[in-house]
Amino acid sequence: MSRCIGKVADGHGVILVDEAPPIRSLRFDSGARQSAIDLRFPWRPYLASARRLVSGLLIHPAPRRILLLGLGGGTLARFFLMNRHCTVDVVENRQAVVAVAHRYFGLPAGRRLRIFVRDAREHIFGEPFNRASYDLIIADVFGAHGIAPVAADPDFYHRLHQGLVPGGVLTANFWIRQLQADNSGGSLLKTAFGDSFRSVMTRTGNLVVIHSGVRGWPTKPLLVARAKKLEPAYDFDFDFLVRELSAAPAGIPPALA
């Protein structure tokens, strides 16, 4: 049985923290889980979508600058900060979410983590982003009822592509049912990512898209070799990502074809 251990209200709604040991979760307005951690291994991404969103490391294994759009409980920020050679920028439009991430999910504070409390669209079309170049960008912009409107705008992703260094990687999280419901999900992905992307789907209905500026897709032996080097640094099993990325379809996934 889960119990509520925290409740915060702001102008956007209610943020709930519930716990069914060893899992602690964050929800918006009693909706789907937005973030979760296993209290025994709080540095590891727990939700299926979060685990896929770190797949960019297998394409660009030594990032120095990372941008996260959407904070949730801060699990991805905490994970990437295990790499002592990188800095992490986070854009989150709710100060209350930031406070909850620090208080209930162990998000650390420090010079390598910068949090911008502002709207994602405002940020990436603003001056700070003009001066930025990132190795990895992760768009995980959700509200209580699905992906935020900005995440359905191809211009949003075109702008994010401009923020990547050569060879950088952009990953984005979608709900497949939401893409299917508006009958334009495939068109959105093609317009936003062209033909040079792959995607993996979770059992929970998330579709994670991975786009890289590098020509060609890494071979399975290369992915395996990178996974072996990454696992000790992050204390995370990348083997399942190697299997999924090796088999991931190129371009529009069958569910949206």
**CA atoms of 76 and 101, how far apart (whole Å):** 11
Q: Is residue 135 part of a domain?
A: yes
CA angle (173 as vertex; 133, 30 as ends), nearest 5: 125
Give a yes or no: residue 180 inside a domain.
yes
State the DSSP code for 248. P
Whose tokens are 């569910």? That residue is: 255
Asked, for residue 165, whether it belongs to a domain, the answer is: yes
Residues 6+ apart with CB under 8 A from 221: none
**Minimum mean pLDDT range among 109-123, 155-169, 183-197:** 183-197
For residue 250, give the DSSP letter.
Answer: B
- pLDDT tens string 66-85: 999 999 999 999 999 999 99
Expressed as residue numbers, the domain containing 211 is 41-246
> Is 130's pLDDT higher than 90?
no
pLDDT tens column, 82-128: 999 999 999 999 999 999 999 999 999 999 999 999 999 999 998 77
Query: Does 99 fall in a domain?
Result: yes
- For residues 37 and 10, give the distance between their C-alpha atoms in angstroms, rounded to a whole number: 23
Q: What is the CATH number of the domain that holds 63?
A: 3.40.50.150
Q: Is residue 16 part of a domain?
A: no
Which pLDDT does position 196 carry in this prediction?
84
pLDDT of residue 182 exceeding 90, the answer is no
Give yes or no for residue 256 having a pLDDT over 90.
no
Q: Tell me, yes or no, whether 257 lies in a domain.
A: no
| Structural domain includes residue 59 | yes
Tell me phi and psi for residue 162, to 5 degrees: -65, -20
C-alpha to C-alpha distance for 67 and 80, rounded to whole angstroms: 10
Number of domains in the chain: 1
Evaluate whether residue 53 is within a structural domain: yes
**Tokens 């939401």 correspond to what residue?**
178
> pLDDT tens digits for 15-50?
999 999 999 999 998 778 899 999 999 999 999 999
